[in-house]
Chains A and B, each alone.
Chain A
């Protein structure tokens, strides 16, 4: 009888679900994101590729350096840095200058992820964190000028285009191309900013509709088909609702994403816009709602683990987006809502009870001590009361 000298002795179970690894989960996300990237290139030209490349390279380098410094194993192969980099890029305007992209990607990986302790310990979704930091920084202006779809027809498909400050023009912003500052590019309002500025209130069309915006019909009403397919201005990743849906469903099918989170966010938000009749369709398809609901809020690390927790988290985000869009001057709010709810995840997981099998009582809150004790607690001596 021959037997290997080294029989492996490990704790049960001795089987593991096929393909259930962190890197496979990340790969699924990358596969789901790919069509969005391709669509963005079609709509916004090759500039998107430059942005994605800079974001990925910066993320990879930062991760390697940080892990070396922090003496952690370099785990690039798990793909999480790539996912962060691409998601971050997808949140940017298609003409964001590359140096701003690099700064943001660095913030995402170094500050939001590694300084918090690495993948699994971060409290904020790194991509969203970096986006929100940019949003509140002086660099904000660079990442939210939305050139209109197919602007590359004037500048050339491969020509890099970047938002740039120029005090000589009235808006203070121009688009820099290889050929110099472009004046022929038109900044298109995103669907959401349009009705925010009062031009798209139902029935009242005031002011001019943006020239050439494919998503608006000549009467100034949104062209729902265009909004859904992605013929509109916006951030790189958010424009095609159709492709986001397809990618999201793929991730749900693969088990990478829990359907409860997108369903809760979109459901709660849509319901509120319906009840208040606050541009339900534009609000649903116009901005970053779908990208956020399917790809950002579903981040494993920064969303709750229990089903009940997921519903609370998702509905909370949906309501928060509504509040932000309804009452603040800004048209968006998805990123902000997610970043608000990310840290609450820890509280939800800790204090929202998940009744065990056979438990008769069904309390909403668990009995965990409200103030976390820093020391190991010998109280277990007296604690074990059974339910």
Chain B
């Protein structure tokens, strides 16, 4: 049963154990530059990138190495100075094969040269969009949707509210929390840029009630900034999901299948707002990010500023290595992250954390027959019927799977979290979505 608080929230959802204290007090440290970075060419949702370098080329930090003419795409930049070793296929974090540029880092890594003197108050909204596009910004909470596309909503949909998702509702992760503590004023500048880009009058930073220190910091930084406010949200998963967050903060409901622009909102992750600030103020493309390395299977959990393309193993080693018998290695948070079979995959723009669970901390049950307890239905924040999505997917009755809400499932995992029969709804929902999409194309 949900504990009632005065904080804003949504209906449904779950209360997983948060385990944030493992890493939340660790200041952000720079991770070492690995001998070799593996940079997947396309790290966003949308059109794939063309490779812009060839083996043997010398590259500098922040140099564009992949891009596309297509609007829905995000450029990729080198995260190190060095030499392109090869362009090959690797197994990405989702298990699918992806094209990647492998760059050997030079022994000397020059600091990235910050462009000085940018007048953030003078930039226009159009310029902000351009900056976002040049810097290859994507949503950094995990979805990795190109930011400049979100900043260009349909003409007929005016945006009045920019919402910053600083909930960090995924258990274990603390990188956004640290960013808010350490860089609150830059974050607020980023919020202002976002507001300018879409012409919004108000910007709301939504933070869960378990990060009151961050609330204080950001409130302080936002003082005197017209339109920028901080709201405290109930600690509940998935508070940071786009539609849930908009509802919690504004009471507006995004209709099924529609985007936040439908209700005049734009949602961006806190990390993205910061990256936009860095791109606008310093001319810095998105080639490194802050992420949390944590979990009971990590010796020294911490928050790191790491180069995109750093292999997971480098980061794990830097954090003292594995502790106990590592049983699950997850890229991202425990509710939506991707389990890895080894530590070879590189981190990408959307990687918010590396989580290692020990073998004894894993609760993987055997999938049983659904007992129709209805717990998944109660938990689903989209009010779908997860058990029926599963049932119809099993029977390959795609029209019924769709009517049970398969297409509206955003894979938050609340349903499986509470399912006493250990049914992996998300896997079925993905199958149904793919099938329905394929049927529609035909």
Contact = CB atoms under 8 A, between A and B. Distances in A.
Contacts of A1: 313, 316-317, 321-322, 343
A9 B362 contact: no
Contact of A15 (B16, B372, B395): B16
Interface in B274-289: none
Contact of A11 (B254, B373, B424): B424
B342 interface: yes
A354 interface: yes
B255 A360 contact: yes
A368 B391 CA distance: 14
B271 interface: no
Nearest to B425: A11
A49 interface: no
A305 B339 contact: no
Nearest to B407: A384
A176 to B, nearest CB: 40
A9 to B, nearest CB: 4
A371 interface: no
Contact of A356 (B325, B408, B439): B408
Interface in A322-368: 349, 354-360, 366-368
B372 A301 contact: yes
A282 interface: no
Contacts of A21: 365, 420, 422
B1 interface: yes
A10 B339 contact: yes
B372 A305 contact: yes
A20 B398 contact: no
B339 A383 contact: no
B254 A358 contact: yes
Given A1-B316, A12-B338, A255-B1, A121 B369 contact: yes
Nearest to B335: A13
Contact of B339 (A4, A8, A377): A8
Interface residues of B, number: 90
B153 interface: no
B107 interface: no
A202 interface: no
B420 A22 contact: yes
A359 B256 CA distance: 6
A302 B388 CA distance: 15
B340 A9 contact: yes
Interface in B354-403: 355, 357, 359, 362-365, 368-378, 381-385, 387-388, 395-400, 402-403
A55 B51 CA distance: 72
A356 B405 contact: yes
Contacts, number: 210
Given A4-B325, A8-B328, A305-B372, A377 B256 contact: no
B369 A120 contact: yes
Interface in B321-364: 321-322, 325-330, 332, 334-343, 355, 357, 359, 362-364
| Chain A interface category by residue count | 35 or more
A125 to B, nearest CB: 12
Contact of A358 (B243, B313, B363, B368): B243
Nearest to B403: A368
Interface in A288-329: 300-307, 310
Nearest to A11: B427
B322 A356 contact: no
Given A4-B326, A13-B336, A381 B442 contact: yes
A151 to B, nearest CB: 39
From A10, A13, A253, A360, residue with most partner B Cβ within 10 Å: A13
Given A12-B426, A15-B363, 17 more contacts: A1-B316, A1-B343, A3-B322, A4-B325, A7-B328, A7-B339, A8-B339, A8-B364, A12-B335, A12-B411, A12-B413, A15-B17, A306-B385, A349-B388, A357-B383, A358-B243, A358-B255
29 contacts: A1-B316, A3-B326, A4-B325, A4-B359, A10-B339, A11-B430, A12-B330, A12-B336, A12-B426, A13-B336, A14-B330, A14-B334, A16-B419, A17-B14, A120-B371, A301-B372, A305-B385, A305-B387, A307-B378, A368-B403, A376-B395, A377-B398, A379-B399, A380-B399, A380-B402, A384-B402, A384-B407, A384-B440, A386-B257
Interface of A: 1-4, 7-18, 20-22, 24-25, 118-121, 253, 255, 258, 300-307, 310, 349, 354-360, 366-368, 373, 376-381, 383-384, 386-387
Interface of B: 1, 14, 16-17, 95, 171, 243, 247, 253-258, 313, 316-317, 321-322, 325-330, 332, 334-343, 355, 357, 359, 362-365, 368-378, 381-385, 387-388, 395-400, 402-403, 405, 407-408, 411, 413-414, 416-422, 424, 426-427, 430, 436, 439-440, 442
